[in-house]
Structures are given as structure tokens and as C-alpha cells.
Structure 1
Amino acid sequence: MNNINLSKSRYCECVQCVNILWLNKYKPEYSQTDSNDSVLENGRKVGELAKGLFGDYEDIPYDKDIDFRIQKTEELLQDKPNIITEASFNYENNFCSVDILKNDADGVEIYEVKSSTEIKDIYLDDVAYQYFVLTNAGLNVKKAAIVYINNEYVRSKELDMEQLFNIEDVTDIAREKQNQIKNNIDRINEFMRVHDGDNEPDKHIGVDCFDPYPCPYWEYCTRDLPKPNVFDISGMWKSKKFEKYYEGKISFEDLENEKINPKYLEQIDFELNDREPKIEKEPIESLLSSLNYPLYFIDYESCQYAIPELEGTKPYQQIPFQYSLHVIQEEGAPIEHYEFLAEADDDNLIRTFAESMIKDMSEDGSVIVYNKGFEATRNREIGEMYPDLLEEMERINSNIVDLMVPFRSRDYYTKEMKGSYSIKYVLPALYPDDPDLDYSNLPLIHNGGEASEAFLSLKDKTPEHQKEIRNGLLKYCKLDTLAMVKIWEKLKEVTD
């Protein structure tokens, strides 16, 4: 019987969990993937840029007809020495395309391109699989390497590809893994022969459900567990959750007398016994009394470029491109709203962002954020990039107050927060069924990930579509700071 068709991505999925292959074939409707377009686009851009790392190259365009791609590769291999990108090979139904193939007179070199800033174990499996296919297809593989992003590189006016990319030789590791690759392929084929569509394999859950990637079938494989269960405990390490799971301590009832973090027990207790809200007035009053008018409720949105597009920035640096600001000048004063959203083609958008914010918060007052680490770090980075703005950035940082503190420390807690202090849990817990505070009612943009993706996509959109996206971004960010105002109002209400 012929081997099943394996690609390098399918092989790597099976290294994580072979059940994924069976589920993809027989139960694909249960897959739940959080597709992140910006991650995919970053990967595509990095891959395309890296193709020119060694100079001119011959590219084999994608074609559903694998045989066509393999034939094209065979033709180009004769024209050595050359560089071939997406060179395609097959050995006993094990297929792979090599990102960059350096084709020399005495053999070939494999270069696998990753948009990551580090080498993960699964990348080594990926390269070793390619080495297996190419060597068994009759090629002399002299070298196998991983090309990945150098996150210490700071872009100057022109992009320096040699500085942007790190190249690590992993030939020895790839060779050491060859027997393992062969055994894994045999095991995968035997598994799929034994388990046809009518013979579902035993479900398996473990830490590998999240490592190296979150499995899209998690909900399917845990569908029979009691709800809520140990995996719903907020903040507990996954390894600890699986430890309890393997001990048979799965439901909240199983866990309520366990010796675990008091915060986890509190979440369990509130859930099982439907407790009234817990409100510790003294620390909440202390926070409120520390605030000084004017009150600036501010939230940033940011994006990341794998390939830095702005001078002075690093790969994957958080680039603040938007803020919303609700201002209360004095007690009892009406709420004012200010906002900023960068132009997608502004090469100085970080400075433009900062200058607008400084203007809108020109007076000293409490700068109220939710999770101050994020905004404070962005402000420090801006001060480092632009020394003339450092004093203003430090002034703003010195006035920051974190509205998250009462919820993180559980001075204010309700069952509906489900153990979390994220604003996406806290807000609906404090204001249930308020359509004006429901993120799902927003047009286009509903969370920070979508906001980042939307901004990154602007350059490729028509003016009409850009206007629609920008409107969605403004509405989303505005709700983030309105949410903080409403939380502040609730804190005042419960301490009166």
C-alpha cells in the first residue's frame, strides 16, 4: 500500500499530534482556528524578501499540480550553479518545497526561512524532514540551515538584509534526526492505515495541544469534559492544569479542596456557590483618592512589522499608531474626547503620534490606563528614539495610574470575571447587557489583534475601504477609553 501524501507542514503537525492529521481528513468541520492575517502576511513578506538573500534566483511559482513543480525543479537543477526558490521534491509521497535551495556543482544547500526571532524545535523537524526527502531523492545535501529574524537589528534609512537575517547551520542536527524522521513517517502511515473514517483514534490531550502551536481541535477533543473545568482556571500554568487533569481533578467540584493558589480557589468558590460581588473598599478608595484632575483616560493601539518599515525601529517592535483619550478637566466637568489615528504612509508616525498626545495632555494630571506596562513601555521607547521628547514622555509616565490594579489584586471581584482581570471580562461583569459597551456590536474591529491587522492592511485598500476601516478603528479605540471611564465611575459608585 502506498504511503499517504505528506508535506513538511503535515509532517510537523504529526510531530505535535498525529490525531491532527486524522481530524483534518475526517472531521475538518470541527477545526477552530484563530486566523491571524497579519502573522501570515508577515511570514509571506519575510519569505519573499529572503529569496534574494544570495542574489539572483529562479522562482518556482505555486501550482496545485505538484508534478509540474517537481518537473520544473528538475530542469533548473541541471543549470547549476544557481539559486532556486520553492524547489519541489517528492520521495515515496513525502513532498516538500525548499524555501531557498543553493544549487552548487557538488551538491545543494537547504535554507528554511522563518519569520520568527528564534529557532524552535519544530523548525529543526521541518528542516530534517526536507533533508530526508532530498537525500532520498538522490541529492547530496551539503548543508541545512535556518534563516530567521535578528530582533536586535535597528533599521537605518535603507534596509540591510544581511543585518536583518540570522543564518544558523543545523546540518548536524538534521543528519542526527534522519532515523527519527523515517520512524515517524512509518508510524504516521501505519496510524492512518489503522484509523480509517469509521475508526476514530482515542482522543489525546496534553501540553502538546498548545506546543508548538495551539491545536485547532482543542474544543473537539475536550467536548466531553465537565464545564467549567480545570482548563477554565484563569492564570494557572498549563503544565499545572494538565497535572491536575492527569490526577483526575478535572471539574471545579474536584478542585475546590485542593491545595492550589487562593485566587484559583476563589474563582472556583464564586462559580460553585454563586457568591455576591467581593468589594474591598479601602484599597479602591486609596486608588481613587490618588487621582489628580484633569483625568486623562488613554489607550494605545499598536502594530508590529517583522521587516521594520520605519527608520530607527527593530523587527517586531510595537509601533503605536492610534490613541483614544477621554478627558475630565475637573470634578463634575463634562467628558471631552480626543483621538489620533496615524496615516498609513507616514514615515514618522511614531513621532506624529507622540506630538499629538503631548498636545492633548499638556497639563499635568492623572494619566489613567488599563495595564500600565504597555503604555509606559511605549512612552520610554519614544523617549529613546526622540531625545527631544524624552522629558515629556517621562512627565506622562510619572503621572500614570493603572486602573487594572483593583481587579488584578481581587479587591473587586465577581463570578462573571471568571478569574480574569482583562478589561474584556471586567467591563461586561460590571455592566452586563449594556449594548453601548458591547465590543461585539462594533463595526469591523472588535479587539486589539483585529485593530493591528486592520491598520497594517490600509496601504493596500481603496480610499473608500480605507475610510471604512479607519472609522472602525476609531470606534473601537474610543470604546476602550469609554470603558475605563465607566469602570472608574463604577469604582466611585461602590465606595460611596
Structure 2
Amino acid sequence: MSIDLSKSKYCKCLQCEKILWLTKYKPDCVPKKNKDDIIERGKKVGELAKGLLGDYIDIPYDEDLSIMIEKTDELLKDKPNIITEASFSYNNNFCSVDILKNDLEGVEIYEVKSSTSLEDNPIYLDDVAYQYFVLSNLGLNVKKAYVVYLNKKYIRGEELDINQLFIKDDVTDIVRKKQDKVRCNVDKFNKFFEVHGKDNEPQKDIGIYCCKPYSCDFWEYCSRDLPKPNVFDLKGKMRKATKFKKYHEGKISFEDLQNDNLGDKYLEQIDFELHHREPKIVKEEIKKFLSSLNYPLYFIDYEAFQCAVPAFEGTHSYQQIPFQYSLHIIKEEGAPFEHKEFLAEIDDKNMIRNFAESMIKDLPENGSVIVYNQTFEESQVNKKICKMYPDLKDEIKRINANMVDIMVQFSDRNYYVKEMQGSASLKYVLPALYPDDPELDYDELSLVHKGDEASQAFLSLKDKTPKEQEEIKEALLEYCKLDTYAMVKIWEKFREVTI
């Protein structure tokens, strides 16, 4: 089998040729993941960028690629013009150029990405180099090549300014130097697929390319024969490269690793897994944490979404936009908890301010504001609110000053059991502390079971009927409420084990 390359297929082959073989012959081996938001984000950024160079002529997608190529040929003769999705094929190597500037001297390539960095994504250069290869071999004079990406320093005003939103990075010299390599790669990939047909699966060991530059969808398939648990199940900050180094040294299972030179937390995770240790509870540290809390106790959790293109005045690309919180309150020792909540309207242009004002009203006193993963609430949300709304700064700073991170007791391993599997994530911790409790089981929830589902569900409200909107809103409130109730239950567990 030979393969008709496109720029996306070429980039996948650069990471690992087997990705493309598996995509074609074993697509069912990919775990079901909702990537609609990522795809939609890329489409939105791409559509917006089309107007960067002025008026343009768009070539609509057609399954018959020859129609797109013929339309491109016609438009190329009518220069100067700007063509979006201009399509070309050279020796069965196909590409569509996001934006093509076409004039009397030649053409310029503009490849649009929804990222905020070029340095972290070297594959973008390979993408453009492949397009340069196709066009130049068709006899076109490619004068310039650019990668267009989002400017993370741009703060949106009342109106969106796409000229400030996007950065155009000239990569012409780099992609020209890659041309010999592109030709070699194209030949290599075609030979690979001539050898490996449907009944001849490539035999390729796992490696760092399984997660660079992107996490491969076929990881579970390719690692299916590894012992469980294994080096890749170690939780914490160990680099993927270090894990693969251990793997290639033959240190794969927890038995292989138990006497290795690893950090204390990794060895502890291994030890608990292999030897079924009793729960580790550092009572003095947990007591110290409990004694540091001041009533009223505010257990709060935020939900937020991100937009590649800033949707609100005063925000930047991929800023966390808070749209919901749940709040459990215990006013004094022995008092029953109260619950309050906030859920924004999907079309509210003042969503962030309304979120902040509601939170300030619901946290009127200087009690402890208890969160799970303080970096998110304090740094990624509250500090941004301070910048956007200086008149709210004092109150938000007051909330931040009272903030306490309950997760630290698990990340510091002051409380640890085997079932946490080395993780301090609430989704591991809660079932480990309260096993088989349906009231605390996220899987028992309707529609929304985790954070990314919450943001997707909220954003989907725009396209739903009133009845569907009510069902989604109810599911969002139910999910977020469980997050803060979970913290209350953890606090109760801490009190129980330190008596």
C-alpha cells in the first residue's frame, strides 16, 4: 500500500508512522474522547485569521480534492489575490494552505495555529516545510512562509482587533533548510506503507515519541502488554523522558523499581502498592492544618472555561473564565453546613464581574476559604479578576488572603492510602477515603462527571432548547456541589482520624 500524504498525515508520520497505520486499520483502538471543543477551537481561530491580509476568496472543502485543486488553479491566474484553503497536489502529496497571498512575483504561505507559542511546537515548522515542498515542486515561487498564532499578551478591548490578536512569524529560512529532509521523509513514509499493509502491523516499541509533540491516541493499545502497575503509572512530577529511560533500562514493573534510585514519594507509592501498607496518617500535621482554620469555614470550588479567541473585554487568549461556583459554609463549631451556588447565564457579557460580585457577597466574613488546588482559584482566576476590576481588588485580595488549600495534605503525603495511586487529585482521594459511597461517587452523576465535561456542557447551552438547558444547568449545579461537599467530607475525615 502506498499512501497519499497530506500535511496532517505527514506530521503524524514524523511523530510515529504507526499512528497513521493504526488510524487506518485499527481505529476502534482509540479510547472515546470528546475532542469536539479542540476541533471547534481550531476552526474558529482559522476562520477569524482568514481576514488578516484583507479581502479573500475561500475555497470550500470538497471530498473530491481535485475540485479544490482546480479551483485553486483558476484563482492563481487571477493575481494578485488572497486565497484561503488553496489546495495543491504534487506526486500524491496534498496540502491546503490556510492563507495564500498570491501576486505577480510569487506566493506567500500563512499557516494558522490556535497556539500561543511557536517555540513549544516545532511540528508547526514541519507542517509549513511540507507545504513549501509541495508548492515549490509544482513550480511556484514561494517567497515567504509564516506561522500565524495567537498573541497571549493581547488584551481584548470592547471590539476584537485581529491584527493585535495574531502574530505572524516569518519562518522562510527555516523551512527552506528543511526541504532535503522533507523529500527524504516523504520517500521513507511511502516505502513504509508499501511494506506495511493491512495484515502486516508495524512492530515498533513505545518511546518518547508516544507523547511528543502530542499524546498519542493509541497509547493504551501500544502499551497493553505492560505489567500493571508500571513505571508510567507513577504519579507526580517525574518527566516522561525519565520514565522512558527507566523503561528502556528494563525497569518497568513496580517490582523492578522498588529498589531503584527514585524520589521518596515514588518509592512510597510503589511500597504501598506492593506491600499493602496500612494508611499513612501524619496526625500532627493534619492537626496543625485543622487548628489553622478559622470559622466561618467556606468550602468553595470554581468551574471555568477557556477561549482561544478572547470572548470578553479585558481578557486574553486561554484565560480561565469562571462561570460557576459551589459554596458550602460552616459558620461555627457544631453548626450544620449551608450551601450557596452561582451559575452564570451563557449570554452574559458581564459574566466574570457577576461571578466575582456574587462570590464577594457570599463570603462576607474573614473565615478560612478552603479550596482544592489553590493555584487555580487564586492565581488563574482571582488575580485576573483583580486586574480586570480594580474596584473589586480589595475584596478579592481579602478572599485570597484567607485561602487555604486542603489538597496540600495529600500532595505532602500527610494522609495516604494505596487506593490514591500516588495522586492527590480529588477524583482519586475521595473514593480512597470513602469507598463504595454512592453519595460521593462522581460516576453516579448525570451528564457532568468531571471538569472538562462541565466547561463543555456550559458552552453547549447556546445551542440547546430551553428544556435541554434546564437539564444541563441542573447537572452542572449537581456536579459542582459534589466538589465542595467532598471537601466538607475530607475535613470531617481529618477530624475523625485526629481524635
TM-score of the aligned structures, taking structure 1 as reference length? 0.98
Does the CA contact (< 8 Å) of 1:38 and 1:456 recur in 2? no
| AA of the residue aligned to 2:55 | D
- In structure 2, what is the equivalent of residue 362 of structure 1? 364
Give, in whole Å, the separation in 1 of the partners of 2:126 and 2:154: 27
Give, in whole Å, the separation in 2 of the partners of 1:84 and 1:365: 59
Give, in whole Å, the separation in 2 of the partners of 1:338 and 1:41: 33
After TM superposition, the structure 1 = structure 2 runs for residues 366-445 of structure 1, keeping only pairs within 5 Å, are: 366-377=368-379, 378-445=381-448
After TM superposition, the structure 1 = structure 2 runs for residues 20-419 of structure 1, keeping only pairs within 5 Å, are: 20-32=19-31, 34-119=33-118, 120-235=121-236, 236-377=238-379, 378-419=381-422
| 1:474 is aligned to 2:477 | yes
What is the CA distance between 1:321 and its match in structure 2? Answer: 1.0
What secondary structure is seen at the aligned counterpart in 2 of 1:205? coil
Measured against aligned partners, the alpha-carbon deviations of 1:401-420 in whole angstroms (never above 9, x if no partner) come to 11111101101000000000
Give, in whole Å, the separation in 1 of the partners of 2:269 and 2:344: 41
What is the CA distance between 1:3 and its match in structure 2? Answer: 4.4
Measured against aligned partners, the alpha-carbon deviations of 1:124-149 in whole angstroms (never above 9, x if no partner) come to 00000001111112211111101100
Give, in whole Å, the separation in 1 of the partners of 2:199 and 2:59: 39
- Stretch deviating more after TM superposition (28-37 or 309-318): 28-37
What secondary structure is seen at the aligned counterpart in 2 of 1:110? strand
Q: 2:487 aligns with which of 462, 484, 489?
A: 484
What secondary structure is seen at the aligned counterpart in 1 of 2:375? helix
Does the CA contact (< 8 Å) of 2:343 and 2:477 recur in 1? yes
Give, in whole Å, the separation in 2 of the partners of 1:80 and 1:56: 13
What is the CA distance between 1:24 and its match in structure 2? Answer: 1.4
Change (3 A) 1:142 1:163: same
Unmatched segments (≥5 aa) in structure 2: none
Does the CA contact (< 8 Å) of 2:342 and 2:358 recur in 1? yes
| AA of the residue aligned to 1:327 | I
Unmatched segments (≥5 aa) in structure 1: none
What secondary structure is seen at the aligned counterpart in 2 of 1:300? strand
What is the CA distance between 1:464 and its match in structure 2? Answer: 2.4
What secondary structure is seen at the aligned counterpart in 2 of 1:204? coil
Change (3 A) 1:391 1:289: same
What secondary structure is seen at the aligned counterpart in 2 of 1:365? coil
What is the CA distance between 1:33 and its match in structure 2? Answer: 5.6
What is the CA distance between 1:34 and its match in structure 2? Answer: 3.0
| AA of the residue aligned to 2:182 | I
What is the CA distance between 1:373 and its match in structure 2? Answer: 1.2
Does the CA contact (< 8 Å) of 1:33 and 1:216 recur in 2? no
- In structure 2, what is the equivalent of residue 7 of structure 1? 6
Give, in whole Å, the separation in 2 of the partners of 1:57 and 1:64: 22
Give, in whole Å, the separation in 2 of the partners of 1:92 and 1:216: 29
- Stretch deviating more after TM superposition (37-46 or 460-469): 460-469
What secondary structure is seen at the aligned counterpart in 2 of 1:469? helix
Does the CA contact (< 8 Å) of 2:2 and 2:194 recur in 1? no
- Stretch deviating more after TM superposition (422-431 or 439-448): 439-448
| AA of the residue aligned to 1:431 | Y
Q: Which runs of 4+ in 1 moved over 6 A?
A: none
What secondary structure is seen at the aligned counterpart in 1 of 2:107? strand
What is the CA distance between 1:40 and its match in structure 2? Answer: 1.8
Give, in whole Å, the separation in 2 of the partners of 1:341 and 1:317: 18
What is the CA distance between 1:457 and its match in structure 2? Answer: 2.4
Give, in whole Å, the separation in 1 of the partners of 2:467 and 2:39: 25
Give, in whole Å, the separation in 2 of the partners of 1:109 and 1:237: 39
Aligned CA-pair RMSD: 1.1
Give, in whole Å, the separation in 2 of the partners of 1:45 and 1:198: 39
Give, in whole Å, the separation in 2 of the partners of 1:36 and 1:340: 27
- In structure 1, what is the equivalent of residue 454 of structure 2? 451
What secondary structure is seen at the aligned counterpart in 2 of 1:339? strand
Does the CA contact (< 8 Å) of 2:129 and 2:179 recur in 1? yes
What secondary structure is seen at the aligned counterpart in 2 of 1:83? strand
Does the CA contact (< 8 Å) of 2:314 and 2:388 recur in 1? yes
Give, in whole Å, the separation in 1 of the partners of 2:468 and 2:53: 38
Does the CA contact (< 8 Å) of 1:3 and 1:92 recur in 2? no
Give, in whole Å, the separation in 2 of the partners of 1:44 and 1:372: 33
Give, in whole Å, the separation in 2 of the partners of 1:380 and 1:178: 46
Give, in whole Å, the separation in 2 of the partners of 1:425 and 1:106: 61
Does the CA contact (< 8 Å) of 1:153 and 1:164 recur in 2? yes
| AA of the residue aligned to 2:140 | L
| AA of the residue aligned to 1:468 | E
What is the CA distance between 1:197 and its match in structure 2? Answer: 2.0
What secondary structure is seen at the aligned counterpart in 2 of 1:148? strand
What is the CA distance between 1:389 and its match in structure 2? Answer: 0.8
| AA of the residue aligned to 1:336 | E
Give, in whole Å, the separation in 1 of the partners of 2:192 and 2:343: 53
Give, in whole Å, the separation in 2 of the partners of 1:380 and 1:168: 31
Give, in whole Å, the separation in 2 of the partners of 1:3 and 1:233: 40
What is the CA distance between 1:199 and its match in structure 2? Answer: 1.9
Does the CA contact (< 8 Å) of 1:47 and 1:114 recur in 2? yes
What is the CA distance between 1:250 and its match in structure 2? Answer: 0.4
What is the CA distance between 1:456 and its match in structure 2? Answer: 2.2
